[in-house]
Amino acid sequence: MNALSTVFTRQVGIEVPLICGAMYPCSNLELVAAVSAAGGIGIVQPISMSFVHKRELREGLRAIRAITDRPIGFNAIVEKSSKAYEDRMRKWIDIALEEGVRFFITALGDPRWVVERVHAVGGIVYHDVTERKWAEKALAGGVDGLICVNRDAGGHAGTASAEQLWRDLGDLGVPLIAAGGVGDAAAFARTLDIGFAGVQLGTRFIATTECRAHDDYKQAILRARPEDIVLTERISGVPVAVIKTPYIEKVGTEASFLMKRALQHAKLKHYARLYYSVKSVFELRRASLQGVSYRDFFQAGKSVGGIDSVEPAGDIVRRFAAAARAA
């Protein structure tokens, strides 16, 4: 019997309750494959795969399969932004299912239609949540588990601590995964000890040999301390965790007055969000691939505090698993 076995590992068929979360623009196929090959599960971010790393989705999924036949997951951001985006996401999900992916992490919108498609072939869907209101909505949509995004997370951070989310959502009767703030093996073991069925990490896996992010970005993560992480609205219109660099200090972290008004306006908010999502897709891609020669804004969470070297992703999975087994 695997000492790290949880409801989650049994559902998805993995050994270590560790997810390398989807990261736009940092999820490249080599990183996803390395985490899965080591016994955790890597999540494909389809926009990152196609737009940043220039791999057509089906071909990219097959390239992962050539490296490992262990389970991988797929990130479906189901926010209603445009008809073209929704159509694209539906096609991507069909391709992922055809290529054998059976674990999906939905984020931001109503996961119901994804659940219907994925359950029809026996797959599993977890949804990203930051509070109980969204958790209840996702459960009404039929999801099998919840990714509890806490206030320390990279990407779109939540507002509650991991412990608070455990207390707020622990009675919902589905497996809970903690996301945010875990940068070292001791924090991984501690988080599982709270009772979570797994831990999703992002920032830790940017500082790996497999991640294709620019070395300036990786070095910025090694140098940063938790207090250097700030939330900025200037990338996507909603707060995103970034390292406070001279560039961030110069441009500030608040959306402009006009954009704030537009984001609150009943009719204009849709266009404001669309503007931000297109702008952020381009800007983040450049910042991640070009390093400080572009603009130094680097997304990262407070887990930077536990990260002090660039390592192969598989070594991280094995070290974290050993610490949790020994705890």
Ligand X SMILES: Cc1cc2nc3c(=O)[nH]c(=O)nc-3n(C[C@H](O)[C@H](O)[C@H](O)COP(=O)(O)O)c2cc1C
Min CB(99)–ligand X separation in Å: 20
Helix (H) or strand (E) holding 180: none
96 or 262: CB nearest ligand X:
96
DSSP, res 208: B
Beta-ladder partners of 20: 42, 201
Q: Give CA–CA dist 292/18, Å, rounded.
A: 31
Min CB(40)–ligand X separation in Å: 13
Using only C-alpha atoms, the chain has a radius of gyration, in whole angstroms, of 18
Q: Give CA–CA dist 32/73, Å, rounded.
A: 9
Q: Are the beta carbons of 125 and 118 closer than 8 angstroms?
A: yes
Contacts to ligand X by CB under 6 A:
21-24, 26, 45, 75, 77, 107, 128, 149, 152-155, 179-182, 200-204, 299-301, 303
Residue whose Cβ sits closest to ligand X: 202
104 or 262: CB nearest ligand X:
104
Token output for 76: 């479906």
Exposure string over 14-38, b if 16+ CB within 10 A, otherwise e: bbbbbbbbbbbbbbbbbbbbbbbbb
17 or 180: CB nearest ligand X:
180
39 or 202: CB nearest ligand X:
202
Min CB(241)–ligand X separation in Å: 7
Min CB(240)–ligand X separation in Å: 8
Return the SS3 of 232. Answer: strand
Min CB(104)–ligand X separation in Å: 11
4 or 179: CB nearest ligand X:
179
